[in-house]
Chains A and B, each alone.
Chain A
Amino acid sequence: MSLDQLLHTLQDLPLAAAVRGDMPGTEWVFPIIETLHVLALTLVFGSIAMVDLRLLGWSSRGVSGARLIRETLPWTWTAWICAALTGSLLFLSKAVAYGGNFEFRMKFVCMALAAVNMLIFHCGPYRRIGDWDMGRPPAAARLAGAVSMGLWIAIIFLGRWVGFST
C-alpha cells in the first residue's frame, strides 16, 4: 500500500469522520480535541522550557539540575502522551491534507531532531551531571538546551501554521 492509499484509508475511518464533524452531533468534536491538544502542548513546551532554561543558565540557577530534570520529566511525558493521542485524532480527520502539508512534515522533522538531541544529552552531559549539578552546565549541556528550545519554538510555530495552510 502506498503512503497515499494509507492516508486515504485512515481518513475514511468512521473515527476520522467523527473527528471531522461529518456525523450528526459531532460538530464540536474537532474544536474540543484541538483545545485538549493545546492544553497538553502548553505543558509539554512549558516543562521542557524549564529544563532548557536551567541548562542555559537563564533560570532556576542554584537549583539542582538533576532534581529539576527528575521532577519535571514525568510532567513532560504525561503531557506528551496526551498531546500525541489528541494530535493523532486530529491528524486522522484530514490525513491526506496534513500528510501533504509542508509545515506538518517539518513539524515532525523538528520533533525527530528534538528526540535525537534529547538522546545525545542523556547519553552525554547528563551522565556527568554530578560534576555540574549545582553550577553552570558545561558547553555540551548548554548547547542541548539551546537546540531543544529552538526546535520546540519551531514546533509551536509550525503547528500553528498547519492550521492556516490546510
Chain B
Amino acid sequence: MFRPFADWLAATGLSQLLQNELWVVPTSQSIHIICVCMVFTSALMINLRLLGVWSASRTISELTGALLPWMWGGLVVLLLTGTVQTVAEPVREFVAPMFWAKLIMVVIVTVMTAGFAGKVRSNAARWDAAGPRPNGARAFATGSTLLWVAIIVCGRFIGYTSALYT
C-alpha cells in the first residue's frame, strides 16, 4: 500500500538530490544519533528517578525542568533528520514494519511525556514530596523506558530488515 507512494517519492527531484549527495544520509544519521543520546539519557534519568532506582539529589520538578527542554528540542531535530532520511530512502523506510512500529511508539511516548510534564508542572509540590509518588508515576516511568528502548531497537533494525520486504 505504501510502496507506490515510496516509489513516487524516491523519483522526486528532492529525493534524487538527497540520494546523489552521498554525505547527506550519514551526516543526518549522525545528528539523529546525537539527539537520540540527549533524549534517551534525559528520559532514562527522569524515569529512574521516578522509580527511585537513581537517587539524584535533584527533585522531580527540578530534574524535569532541566531535562525536558532538551528532550523537546532533541525530538524536533529527530523529526527533521528522520524526515531527511525518509525522503532520501523512502522505500527502505516505508516497507519495513519496524519503521511503522517505531513511528507509532514515538507518538505514544511523546503524548505520555507531554501529559506527565503537564502534571508535574501543575502540582510540583506533590511530585517533589518525599512520600509515595502520585498514581501512575511508576507505570509512566516503566512504560516510557521500555518504549524508548524499543524505539532505538526498531530504529537500528530498520536498516537490517528492510531488505527482507523489498
Contacts and interface: CB of A to CB of B under 8 A. Distances in A.
In the A-B complex, list the 3 residue pairs whose CB atoms are closest, starting with the nearest: A46-B41, A45-B37, A46-B37
Query: Chain B's interface: helix, strand, loop or mixed, by majority?
Result: helix
Interface stretch (B27-35, B88-96, B99-107, B126-134): B27-35
A16 interface: no
Given A160-B29, A160-B30, A42 B37 contact: yes
Contacts of A39: 149, 152-153
Contacts of A153: 34
A21 B113 CA distance: 39
Interface string B5-45: 00000000000000000000011011001101110111011
Nearest to B25: A164
Nearest to A50: B41
A26 interface: no
Contact-residue size bin, chain B (C-beta under 8 Å from the other chain): 20 to 34
A63 B41 contact: no
5 contacts: A38-B156, A43-B44, A49-B38, A63-B66, A160-B30
A161 interface: yes
Interface string B56-87: 11100010001000100000000000000000
Query: Chain A's interface: helix, strand, loop or mixed, by majority?
Result: helix
A46 B42 contact: yes
Interface in B146-166: 149, 152-153, 156-157, 160
B56 A71 contact: yes
Contact of B36 (A42, A44, A50): A42
Interface in A101-152: none
A28 to B, nearest CB: 8
B38 A34 contact: no
A63 B37 contact: no
Contacts of B41: 42-43, 45-47, 49-50, 75
A160 B42 contact: no
A60 B40 contact: no
A41 interface: yes
A164 B24 CA distance: 12
Given A43-B41, A45-B34, A34 B156 contact: yes
B31 to A, nearest CB: 9
A38 B70 contact: no
A31 B152 contact: no
A157 B66 contact: no
